[in-house]
Amino acid sequence: MVKRAAPKPRRRPAATPHQHEAGRCLGILRELSDFIDDELPNDICLQIRRHLGDCPHCEEFVASLRQTVSLCRGNPAPALSANERALMREKILNAARSR
């Protein structure tokens, strides 16, 4: 009896080649927050879904981002005192000025 090699999983062929080099991933990343919050028009969501299907790096990033958003929503930030808020604001402004 001859053993056959297990067939390799087949990915669906991309309609267009992956455009990582052309900066397409960066454009997708800029839209992800609105995409995850379902605040984009359907045509843009479709473009993002197609890209995610062709780009495992972006797909992995979206999964991680969704998990982070879920964790943040489930664990609200602790309440800060007025002094803590003022100190945080000062640190943020100082960091922004130093750039």
pLDDT digits (tens, 9 = 90+) for 20-49: 555 778 888 888 888 888 899 999 999 999
State residue 22's pLDDT score.
57
Position 10 confidence tier, pLDDT thresholds 50, 70, 90: very low
Position 6 confidence tier, pLDDT thresholds 50, 70, 90: very low
Q: Is the pLDDT of residue 69 over 70?
A: yes
Q: Is the pLDDT of residue 2 over 60?
A: no
Cite the DSSP H helix spans in the chain: 24-36, 42-54, 56-74, 82-97
Q: Which positions ≥6 away from 24 have C-beta within 8 Å?
A: 18, 51
Q: Which two tokens stand for residue 54?
A: 């062709």
% of the chain surpassing 90 pLDDT: 30
- CA separation for the pair 44, 35 (Å, rounded): 9
Q: Which two tokens stand for residue 70?
A: 């879920």
For 79-88, the pLDDT digits (tens) are 899 999 999 9
- Please name the residue that has the structure tokens 């984009």: 40
